[in-house]
Amino acid sequence: MGRVRGDPVTTAREDELIVAETFGPTFQGEGPSAGQQAVFIRLSRCNLSCGTHTSASWACDTPYTWDWKRFDPKDPEVARRESVGALLAWALSLPPRLVVLTGGEPMLQWRGLERLAVGLRAAGREVEVETNGTLVPRPTLVEAVTAFNVSPKLAAAGDSERRRIVPDALASLARCGKARFKFVVNHLGELDEIAALARRFALREVWVMPEGTTAGAVLDGLRAVAEETLARGWHLSTRQHVLIWGDERGR
Ligand code: SF4
Question: Does residue 205 belong to any structural domain of this protein?
Answer: no
Residue 242's CB: how many other CB atoms inside 10 A?
Answer: 24
Domain annotation covers residue 231: no
- Using CA atoms, how far apart are residues 9 and 18, in angstroms rounded to an integer? 8
Domain-embedded: residue 249: no
- The CA 223 to ligand 1 mean position distance, Å, reads 25
Domain, as residue range, for 43: 9-180
Q: Does 136 have pLDDT greater than 50?
A: yes
Give per-residue pLDDT as tens, 16-47.
Answer: 999 999 999 999 999 999 999 999 999 999 99
Question: Over the stretch 210-249, which tens digit does the pLDDT of each residue have?
Answer: 998 899 999 999 999 999 999 999 999 999 999 989 888 8
Q: Is the CB of 46 under 6 A from ligand 1?
A: yes
* Cα of 150 from ligand 1 centre, angstroms: 12
pLDDT of residue 12: 62
Task: Provide DSSP, 133-195.
Answer: S-SPPPHHHHHH-SEEEE----GGG-S-HHHH--HHHHHHHHHHS-EEEEEEESSTTHHHHHH
- The total of structural domains in the chain comes to 1
Q: Is residue 211 part of a domain?
A: no
**pLDDT at position 55, please?**
74
Nearest CA to ligand 1 atom 6: 50
Which CATH number do you get for residue 53?
A: 3.20.20.70
Residue 228 lies in a domain: no
Residue 142 lies in a domain: yes
Question: Is the residue at 121 inside a domain?
Answer: yes
Contact 79/17 with Cβ under 8 angstroms? Answer: no
Question: Which residues pair with residue 182 across a beta bridge?
Answer: 207
pLDDT at 6: 44
Q: Looking at residues 100-114, what average pLDDT do you find?
A: 97
Asked if residue 203 belongs to a domain, the reply is no
Query: Taking 50 as the threshold, does the pLDDT of residue 80 lie above it?
Result: yes
125, 91 contact by CB (below 8 A): yes
Residue 210 pairs in a beta bridge with: 185
